[in-house]
Amino acid sequence: MLDTRETIMTLARAIVQAHGYQGLSFRDLAKAVGIKSASIHYHFPTKADLGAALARRYGEDARATLDGFLAETSDPATLLRRYVAVFRRALENDNRMCMCGFMAAEHDDLPEAVKSEVRAFADINVAWLAQVLRLADPAADPTATEKRAFAIFAAIGGAQLAARSRGDIALFDSIVESYCATGLIPA
């Protein structure tokens, strides 16, 4: 393998998106990578280290993706459509979900280092959404915009969770449609 550490992170992310942090085992991960579990510990001393690295990278990747969208267009409707599509893609990928969404549920059992990265991920999403909402309505109250951004973030996460529990991507689409129709997500 060219870069084992990267391979570990990629495969671990996929596992956590499907089974959660609790459902991530060094043995299974090692088997997927093609090495022994002891070798995972060489790259990430503890599971908490791996979890924190995973969540941090997840946030970095999200920021890069979202900023990429902003570099291509300033149309709020297009940007929000693309944002929703990111969450849809997780479901398309074997009914997976947002890694930090899963970790949010597991909050009570997460090492502190992982918890703070999960919070940071939410912050990145909310900040970006608020930025897009300001493009749509620059005159709006900044505090209300931030609240609205958090509401959209939470609602899409909820739609993903509901669709996942049924293994039904069409349900995700239907729920998001309702969000747009009722005005939660501006069109």
Partner DNA sequence: CCGACTCTACCTAGTGATAGATAGGCGCAT
Partner DNA sequence: ATGCGCCTATCTATCACTAGGTAGAGTCGG
Backbone angles phi, psi at 141, to 5 degrees: -60, 125
3-state helix, strand, coil in the chain (%, to 5): 80, 0, 20
Residues that bind DNA (CB under 7 A): 1, 4, 24-28, 30, 34-39, 41-43, 45-48
Q: Residue 14 Cβ, how far from DNA at the closest point, in Å? A: 15
Q: Is 86 one of the binding residues for its own copies (CB under 8 A)?
A: no
Closest CB 153 distance from its own copies, rounded Å: 7
> Using CB under 8 A, which of 35, 77, 162, 169 touches its own copies?
162
Residue 106 binds which one of DNA, its own copies, none, with CB within 5 to 8 A depending on kind? its own copies
Where are the strands (E) in the chain, listed by range? none
Smallest distance, its own copies to C-beta of residue 1, A:
26
Helix (H, G, I), strand (E, B) or coil at 83: helix
> Among DNA, its own copies, none, what does residue 88 contact (CB within 5–8 Å per kind)?
none
Nearest partner of 102 among 123, 82, 118, judged by Cα: 118
Q: Which does 10 bind (CB under 5 to 8 A by kind): its own copies, DNA, none?
A: none
In the list its own copies, DNA, none, the entry touching 136 (Cβ below 5 to 8 angstroms by class) is none
Single-letter residue type at 182: T
Q: How far apart are the first and last CA of the chain?
A: 45
Spatial distance between the Cα atoms of 172 and 92, rounded to a whole number of angstroms = 11
In angstroms, give the least distance from the CB of 66 to DNA. 31
Q: Find, among 108, 107, 82, 93, the residue nearest to 164 by Cα.
A: 93
CA distance 137 to 134: 5
The item of DNA, its own copies, none sharing an interface with residue 119, based on CB under 5 to 8 Å by kind, is its own copies
Residues that bind its own copies (CB under 8 A): 18-20, 22-23, 95, 97, 100-109, 115, 118-119, 122, 147-148, 150-151, 153-159, 161-167, 171, 174-175, 177-179, 181-184
